[in-house]
A and B are shown apart, each in its own frame.
Chain A
Amino acid sequence: MSFEHVFSLTVSGVTVGMIYALIALGYTMVYGVLQLINFAHGEVFTVGGYIAASTLIWIGVDASTPLWVKLGYFALALVVSVVVTATLGWLIERVAYRPLRGRSRIIPLLSAIGVSIFLQNLLIVIFGPEPIIMPTAIVPAGFVNVFGARVRILQIIVIAVSLLLMALLTWIVKGTRIGKAMRATSQDREAAEMMGIETNRTISFTFVIGSALAAIGGFIVAMYYGSLQFDTGFLYGLKAFTAAVLGGIGNIPGAVVGSLILGLAENWGVGLTLGLLAWLFVVGLALGLYIQMVHAPRRRIDHIADEFRTPEYEGRLKAVYRLAPVVAVKTLLSERTDALVHVSARHAVQLMAGNLVLFAFAVVFFMNGDVQFSSKWQHVISFAVLMAILMFRPSGILGENIQEKV
């Protein structure tokens, strides 16, 4: 098990993680503003890939096309795909979700599933059930040597472009007026409306941005794997959704973190021996302990309202985390006196349980150091991750975008 092997697995993991992230961001942003899981989002992604691929097929690129012309075609395909897909996302919200707003949550969910089935069948009707093949001439071929490992140039491009898009998105959400409108809408739609924010336009904008990112994701997958099928989006959608839940649904940085973890877990999980995987659990345990001992208490202390802030109170909160299990369990069993301390104690116990699980995994994996999962396990790993997160931390690693009304 060489370093190069681990490194190239890592690059693949990050690449796939970035692709998941491009899709997961759409799930998470829509959930943020509407508390709706847009199950049609996976199909939006497929449509993006199909439009890009079919544009290139229609233009007819081949190996003899000069590079700069290819770049032009590439840009054209990208623009067409993004525009069409973003429009589709906008339309889905207008037609399938907006009229159902205010109904119980199951109804738009059913509508989403309907849209998803509709789009898959639309793709079959237009393009047929067989996969659409990306013209290979357009795909950046070639490899570079990084730390002795062969890395596809495409992988580097994918990672760079995704990072750029995420930086752009962060800037939109944090720094611009429409981003403020998005955040305000996702926290309290009615109040946002009362401040003169056009929430409907903000929601539309969210769908447009999410769909544009998914389109780019679809284009990338079509290039990365060479082809797409009408139902590709189902699995990708599910994985990206898992990633969004893993990072905390509604939480934008969470979607990226969740996606990276999932991409890496899938690639490392089937490419490494248990002995090496065990080290991941060791790292996870170190991180978990850091969160329990340092990060979580600090965050909690920030939540103390000014009027209660005393050194003793801060000390008490810290003790709950640091001296868990004793203090935490004692607090949980005692009379419910202070909400913040109580919540912290429950949190501390959860963190501790998580750390114990990580520890147990590390031990078991070390003891079976030579075993390796076969690649058939890849999807199993993703869904094991989903199950684990739903069981131990349903709000995700970075926490759900909770609608705290204070």
Chain B
Amino acid sequence: MAEVVLDVRSITKTFGGLKAVNDLSFVVREGEIVSLIGPNGSGKTTTFNLITGLYEPDSGDVLLKDESIAGLKPGQIYERGISRTFQMLRLFSNMSILDNVLVGMHGRTRANVIDCMLHTPRMRREEAESVARAKEILGLFPGRFPASRHSQPALSLSYANRRRLEIARALAGEPALLLLDEPVAGMNPAESLEVMRQIRDLRDMGYTILMIEHDMNVIMGASDRVIAMDHGEKIAEGAPQEVANDPAVVEAYLGKRGADTAS
């Protein structure tokens, strides 16, 4: 079996009495696409925030390739190889498309302030390499980021392309694990399908992906494994079809819907 990239060990996070994530454990193996599903408010984004260091778990541990990363700063975790996208896009919208990707590489380039000021050969070489790599990453989304648009601000992109750009920026960190928080949210079916294919392509290129998704077509079409959450706890795990038919999962979604209609 492939190597374990991410090992989440019974993490818990409470917000003033509310257990947003409760004793959650799972692993993600190399080259897998794992989907995290669950009704609204079930703790999926909080799980991402715990993995990426935005929050520190109250208890439990998170291991990236056998090294504990719980308690590290977000930037440190990023540099160790976990990149993410956000449910609500967080691009640097006034910066150019290319610069957004370059910012994603920031931690990888070593040039310091002095290098920048003096414009040393080392820095110039590094910069040229970064730009080439950034263009390569943008090229993973054929036709979406033509070279003529690279210097335009990110806010000039269509919504779907902004979501793609966020993925590109995350890839710039050369992640060992890519976290995607609802990558197709707000997209139309055709766009969702394209992004789903791109996510699969990324896996085929060797990326390991953990994504949160609500879109059943994407979950079924892209995931190797699905983990279902409810009230901060894992309620099911397995092949997509299995989890979708799991009584606990059906109950969680239906129960939620029942409660929603009742209120």
* Chain A residues within 8 Å of B, Cβ to Cβ: 172, 176-181, 183-184, 187-188, 190-198, 205, 302-303, 305-307, 401, 404-406
Closest-CB distance, A62 to chain B (whole angstroms): 35
Q: How far apart sit A32 and B160, CA to CA, in the bound complex (Å)?
A: 28
Q: How far apart sit A406 and B160, CA to CA, in the bound complex (Å)?
A: 11
Main secondary structure of the interface of A (DSSP, over half): helix
Q: Are B158 and A307 in contact (CB under 8 A)?
A: yes
Please give, as numbers and ranges, the residues of chain B lying within 8 Å of A194 by CB-CB distance. Answer: 52-54, 74-75, 78, 84
Q: Are B116 and A178 in contact (CB under 8 A)?
A: yes
Of B91, B94, B106, the residue contacting A196 (CB under 8 A) is B106
Closest-CB distance, B149 to chain A (whole angstroms): 10
Q: How far apart sit A401 and B99, CA to CA, in the bound complex (Å)?
A: 17
Please give, as numbers and ranges, the residues of chain A lying within 8 Å of B92 by CB-CB distance. Answer: 183-184, 187-188, 191-192
* Chain B residues within 8 Å of A, Cβ to Cβ: 52-54, 73-76, 78-79, 84, 86, 88-95, 99, 102-104, 106-109, 111, 113, 116-117, 123, 127, 154-162, 169, 173
Of B54, B76, B93, the residue contacting A404 (CB under 8 A) is B93
Ranked 3 nearest A-B pairs via Cβ: A196-B107, A306-B158, A176-B116
Please give, as numbers and ranges, the residues of chain A lying within 8 Å of B117 by CB-CB distance. Answer: 172, 176
Please give, as numbers and ranges, the residues of chain A lying within 8 Å of B158 by CB-CB distance. Answer: 305-307
Q: How far apart sit A302 and B88, CA to CA, in the bound complex (Å)?
A: 22
**CB closest residue in chain A, given B152:** A302
A-B contact pairs, 17 of them (CB 8 A): A177-B106, A177-B123, A180-B103, A181-B106, A183-B94, A184-B95, A188-B90, A190-B54, A192-B103, A193-B73, A193-B75, A195-B75, A197-B103, A197-B107, A306-B158, A404-B94, A406-B154
Closest-CB distance, A177 to chain B (whole angstroms): 6
Closest-CB distance, B151 to chain A (whole angstroms): 11
Please give, as numbers and ranges, the residues of chain A lying within 8 Å of B154 by CB-CB distance. Answer: 406
Q: Are B90 and A191 in contact (CB under 8 A)?
A: yes
Q: How far apart sit A405 and B95, CA to CA, in the bound complex (Å)?
A: 12
Please give, as numbers and ranges, the residues of chain A lying within 8 Å of B111 by CB-CB distance. Answer: 177
**CB closest residue in chain A, given B88:** A405
**CB closest residue in chain B, given A308:** B158
Closest-CB distance, A224 to chain B (whole angstroms): 28
Of A177, A190, A406, the residue contacting B155 (CB under 8 A) is A406
Q: Are A195 and B155 in contact (CB under 8 A)?
A: no
Of B53, B88, B106, the residue contacting A180 (CB under 8 A) is B106
Please give, as numbers and ranges, the residues of chain A lying within 8 Å of B173 by CB-CB distance. Answer: 195-196
Q: How far apart sit A302 and B109, CA to CA, in the bound complex (Å)?
A: 32
Q: How far apart sit A306 and B104, CA to CA, in the bound complex (Å)?
A: 24
Please give, as numbers and ranges, the residues of chain A lying within 8 Å of B156 by CB-CB distance. Answer: 302-303
Q: How far apart sit A303 and B154, CA to CA, in the bound complex (Å)?
A: 10
Please give, as numbers and ranges, the residues of chain B lying within 8 Å of A404 by CB-CB distance. Answer: 93-94, 155
Known pairs A192-B103, A196-B107, A405-B88; A306 contacts B94 (CB<8 A): no
Residue from A183, A404, A406 having most chain B Cβ neighbours under 10 A = A406
Closest-CB distance, B164 to chain A (whole angstroms): 12
Please give, as numbers and ranges, the residues of chain A lying within 8 Å of B102 by CB-CB distance. Answer: 180
